[in-house]
Amino acid sequence: MQPDQATQLRQLESQLAAEYQTILSKKLNLDLTRGKPSSDQLDLSDALDGILKGNYIAADGTDTRNYGGLDGLPEAKQLGANIMGVDAANVLVGGSSSLTLMFQVASTAYLFGLKDAASAWKNEGEVKFLCPVPGYDRHFTICEQLGIKMVTVPMTSTGPDMDAVEAAIKADSSIKGMWCVPKYSNPTGVVYSDETVERIAKLGKIASANFRVFWDNAYSVHDLVDNAPQLASILEATRRNGTEDSVLQFASTSKITQAGAGVAFVAASAANLAGFKKALGAQTIGPDKVNQIRHTRFLPDRSALMAHMKKHAELLNPRFEAVLEALAGAFEGTDLGAWEKPVGGYFVSFDTRKGCAKETVRLAAEAGVKLTPAGATYPYGKDPEDRNIRIAPSVPTVPEVVEAMKVFVTCVKLASVRQEIAALA
């Protein structure tokens, strides 16, 4: 290292520190933490309340106001099928939360078995799940709660590193499951390639018995562009490979209508559905069918659904553009950061240089810009390289996103240059 370079770094640091001081004086209060719809987005579904106009009767004559119907109304199954691109016969409609459905399915597989009591994971000693990283913290929490050990595999721009996935499964028969967010992955925003989907469908052939992929298709219709990438059908791929029981798919209307007050779905093989329903029947008489029928009246078919999602895209698009423009402007062609350019979903995932994520998040927080805690996208909250930061731009206004990204860019640069200076010492 030449003295010139050290001097240059210190000059750069001074300049960035001054910019940061200016930001501090603005006393900002901005939040890029969670993947929630904005209130403008929520307004799009306000017609849900009152949509029934006194008609609570489903197409098959079911009075939705009374008990029963463990697996949901036929038209609600069709709504789930429209969202997930599966057959209605493969859909069970749950309550208002797909996360709850995932927990219920995982705990059923663990405690009671999806096939029979002998198939319960708890019978097999240590149980492990493959977790592509970075990933979704709430998936990891389910594993932690159930005592399932998490084994990480890297995400790539075409989905999980399938060489690593297959090698891990072949080497370790205690791997009983894997988390996937196949379209607009949380947080990297990538769409799994056709090859990745095909290879995941084949895992059932090499994995140990009772292996299950949890296919959380949370963003299946959440495109930001017209010619959105198509996710290959995992259902068809498993049918081709005779591995239909190895995948359970999940989705909800939380980011379509009302977050946490929508309808959640699981799609699975007949055998998996039967096993799950057996356990579910001990837990509930049935889900809220009134909310199901509200949703089916509001989104009666696939074209109504897609037209509705277009309105979301119009609101989300400028926010994503603001993030991606800021990142490109500041970091394109540098080694200060790497990111995907998602065309759907709720997140932009940014990798700093090694060891700079926590410091970036800390600097941003002090400057009034809240980010998801560094490490949250990794099991047990530990990002081994301290690189990944999840940016969620849906809630703030566009000017707020622009402002927040100016802060973010400054904080990344400041953390990076200070790290370099520290390395000189």
Which residue's CB is nearer to a copy of itself, number 187 or number 287? 287
Neighbours of 149 (CB within 10 A): 14
Q: Rounded to whole angstroms, how far apart are CA atoms 142 and 356? A: 28
> Hey, is 418 helix, strand or coil?
helix
Pairing of strands 30-32, 247-252: unpaired
Residue 27 or 67 with smaller CB distance to a copy of itself: 67
Binding residue (CB under 8 A) for a copy of itself from 95, 132, 159, 187: 95
- Contact indicator for 94, 101 with CB cutoff of 8 Å: yes
Taking residues 136 to 155 in sequence order and writing x for each that binds a copy of itself by CB under 8 A, - otherwise, the string is: --x--xx-xx----------
Beta carbon of residue 98, minimum distance to a copy of itself (angstroms, whole number): 10
Residues 114-133 that bind a copy of itself (CB under 8 A): none
Site string for a copy of itself, 246-285 (x = CB under 8 A): --------x---xxxx-----------------x-xxxxx
Q: Among residues 49, 116, 126, 195, which is the contact residue for a copy of itself, using CB under 8 A?
A: 49
Rounded to whole angstroms, the Cα distance separating 290 from 227 reads 35
Site residues for a copy of itself, 294-323, by CB under 8 A, read: 294
Identify which of residues 190 and 264 has a Cβ nearer to a copy of itself in the complex: 264
SS3 category, 63: strand
Nearer to a copy of itself, 349 or 394 (CB): 394
Q: Find the shortest distance in angstroms from Cβ 111 to a copy of itself.
A: 8
CA 119 to chain centre: 28
- Taking the least distance from each CB to a copy of itself, the nearer of 22 and 66 is 66
Closer by beta carbon to a copy of itself, 120 or else 200: 120
Task: Please report where in the chains the tokens 């047990």 appear, as a residue.
Answer: 380
Which element (helix H / strand E) includes 290? helix 289-298
> Is residue 103 a contact point for a copy of itself (CB under 8 A)?
yes
CA dihedral sign, ordered 172, 174, 179, 180: positive
Question: Using CB under 8 A, which of the segments 35-43, 123-131, 176-184, 192-200 binds a copy of itself?
Answer: 35-43
Question: Considering the rule CB under 8 A, would residue 6 count as an interface residue with a copy of itself?
Answer: no
| Cis before 399 (ω within 30) | no
Closest CA relative to residue 196, chosen from 212, 209, 215: 215
Q: Which helix (H) or strand (E) holds 176?
A: strand 175-180
Among 45, 152, 196, 246, binds a copy of itself (CB under 8 A): 45
Pick one of 164, 228, 290, 398: the residue that binds a copy of itself (CB under 8 A). 290
Among the listed ranges 29-37, 77-85, 220-228, 405-413, the one in contact with a copy of itself (CB under 8 A) is: 29-37
Going from the C-alpha of 286 to that of each of 67, 70, 95, 281, 410, the distances in angstroms are: 7, 4, 9, 8, 52
**Which of 77, 68, 88 minimizes the C-alpha distance to 288?**
68
Q: Which residues bind a copy of itself (CB under 8 A)?
A: 34, 36-37, 39, 42, 45-46, 48-54, 56, 63-68, 95-97, 99-100, 103-104, 107, 111-112, 138, 141-142, 144-145, 254, 258-261, 279, 281-291, 294
